[in-house]
Amino acid sequence: MTVAAGTWTRRTGQSGTYLGTTTTTNASGATLTRTNVQAKRLALVVTKVPDGGSIRVYWNGAPLTSSPISLAASTTQKKQLVTFPAFCPSRQEP
C-alpha cells in the first residue's frame, strides 16, 4: 500500500484484528492506495468505533458506493466486513 495523502500508522501484532495488522489515520482527507489489483470482488475488514469517521472506496477513480461508508458505532466492533458488488467481468487496476 502507498500513502498518497495524510499520515498513516501501521501496527502489527494487534490481537482481535484481521491477521494481527491495523492501518489507521485520523487525518481528514487521508488517502491510502493499493495498486496492481485484479479482482472479481472486493471487501474490507474494518473496526467501527464511537466517533469513527467514514471512508470512500474507489476503483480506477470511480467510487464503489454512492455515499461514504460509516465507521461509527456505539461500541467498538472489530472485524466488521464491508462488501461491495461483484465485478463482471473481473476488473484490473492499471
Residues 72 and 26 reside in one and the same domain: no
Confidence band of 27 (pLDDT split at 50, 70, 90): confident
- 81 with 57, same domain: the answer is yes
pLDDT for the residue 71: 93
pLDDT at 29: 84
**Is 45 found in the same domain as 29?**
no
Does 62 share its domain with 41?
Answer: yes
| Residue-level pLDDT at 92 | 56
Are 54 and 18 in a shared domain?
no
Res 90: pLDDT: 53
Domain hosting residue 73, numbered range: 36-94
More confident residue, 40 or 90: 40
- Asked if residue 46 and residue 89 are part of one domain, the reply reads yes
pLDDT tens sequence across 28-79? 888 878 788 888 888 888 889 999 999 888 888 888 889 999 999 999 998 8
66 and 20, same domain (yes or no): no
Same domain, 43 and 60: yes
In this predicted structure, the answer to whether residue 7 has a pLDDT above a threshold of 70 is: no
In the chain, the number of structural domains is 2
pLDDT given for residue 50 in this prediction: 96
Q: How many CB atoms lie within 10 A of CB 32?
A: 16
Cα separation of 52 and 72, whole Å? Answer: 4
- Are the C-beta atoms of residues 24 and 78 closer than 8 Å to each other? no
| Best CA proximity match to 68, nearest among 52, 80, 57, 79 | 57
Give me the pLDDT at residue 28, please.
82
Residues 6+ apart with CB under 8 A from 58: 64
**24: closest CA among 43, 5, 8?**
8
